[in-house]
Amino acid sequence: MLLTLLAYHLASLLVVQAQNDCIGHPTFRSPANSDIEVSCGSQTIDLQILLCPVYFNGYNESMLALNSVHSKDQCKGIADWTADPPVVKFNFSITEEAITDCSNTLTVTQETGTGVFAEFSSVQHINISGMICSEDPATGTITYHQEVMYRFSCRYPLQYLVNNTQMTVAGTNLAVQDKNGSFISTLSMQLYVDEDYSSMLQIPANGLELKTRIFVEVKASNLSNRFNVLLDRCYATTTLFPITNSISYDLFVGCNRDGQTIVGMNGEQQEARFSFEAFRFVQTEATFSTYYIHCATRLCVNTFCPTLRQNCTTATDRRRRRNANHNQDSTVSDTATVNSGPITIRLDHGNLGSSEGAQQKDANSTVLAVSVVAGIVGAICLTLMAFIAYQVYNSKIAFNKTILYPHD
């Protein structure tokens, strides 16, 4: 009992001291909607509320909690009296578990694409919302304290905003930018040699042969199981960072696809897969043709993804496949694109470009030379044999004449 009383008196002294720190401060007034500051980050949502208005209404930081969940420590805030003005801070991760722990709300909306998403007929957004509520200290039937309540929300497009970084042929993870409008996750693109996606593609030093089938997988990690990966457009360019005048060729855009491109899985799981045959750009005059694969990638709620995959009628006219000699004019920003490493294709130009091809050519030349020599030698031998036979025949005739008509 004594310890309880001491703790109570200590808490009372701290509250009084804190209130004394707020007295005379410009923010020691009634609460206002502008007292809360919301930061919608790529990994966490951070909130901070002015403390002095809370004390002005007869509350303190221990009486505030996310959505009135006062029983969980992770739903309560931490006071920062070193800040000017003093604030109480809340934060939670953008994961389904952390969002639901404190009874925050997560909803998904669908809108027509605008701005950088104008090429998309439907764009989904995720909205995370909640409130910070006070717990009244009164235990009776009535109270004279005005409730403190601050509402907040963060809105994210289900579109990856990723950094372009140096990449290898085996693929790379791309970090999500930490700014408002981004979503927590990582993307990776990897190339494989088999339809089981078990053996990664390794580009040989002398390049790949034309028509080699390349299997591509775009995968997302750290995602809630309610979201799938959807590829809207995948294309090849001769530069890692596509520019206005760079040469490009579309492997597929929505429902339009190259004749050698096969889309295996798209919008069905947290990875999307397709394959294509190695080609070359006709403008390339060098021994090798090198290009990069880019995929404009977004998320979709798994229950809505089938609608996006099948809705090809309204956007077909806007998503025509461009030839290699056309400039890349996509309205999708580069920061929403995941890229592969360099893909090098061997150009034979009528001759084999590899060392094995040169060796084969030398071997063929040697065989031809030997055959010619052998033919000449054979012809000489036949000629000699015919000459010898002719001489023998003439000798026999002369011998017979000598016997039948002897000289007297």
Cα 133 from Cα 225, distance rounded (Å): 30
- Residue in 152, 155, 180 with CA at minimum distance from that of residue 33: 152
Cα 220 from Cα 215, distance rounded (Å): 17
- Is residue 162's pLDDT more than 60? no
Local structure of 16: helix, strand or coil? helix
Mean pLDDT check: name the lowest of 88-97, 212-221, 317-326, 390-399. Answer: 317-326
Cα 9 from Cα 15, distance rounded (Å): 10
Facing residues of 105 across strands?
129
Cα 305 from Cα 108, distance rounded (Å): 13
Buried b (16+ CB within 10 A) or exposed e, 336-345: bbbbbbebbb
Q: Which domains does the chain have, with CATH numbers?
A: 15-137+146-157 (2.60.40.3210), 183-310+329-344 (2.60.40.4100)
Q: How far is CA 315 from CA 109, 123, 379, in A?
A: 20, 13, 74
What sign for the dihedral angle of Cα 109, 112, 117, 121? Answer: positive
Taking only the tens place, the pLDDT of each residue in 348-367 is 654 444 444 455 555 566 66
- Is residue 286's pLDDT more than 70? no
Mean pLDDT of 322-337: 37
Local structure of 104: helix, strand or coil? coil
Q: How far is CA 144 from CA 131, 137, 138, 140, 149, in A?
A: 22, 10, 9, 11, 16
Of 285 and 95, the one with more pLDDT: 95
81 pLDDT tier (thresholds 50, 70, 90): very high
Highest mean pLDDT among 91-95, 134-138, 283-287, 373-377: 91-95
Taking only the tens place, the pLDDT of each residue in 169-190 is 223 333 334 444 345 556 789 9
The residue with tokens 């025949």 is 393
Cα 281 from Cα 201, distance rounded (Å): 21
Mean pLDDT of 53-78: 93
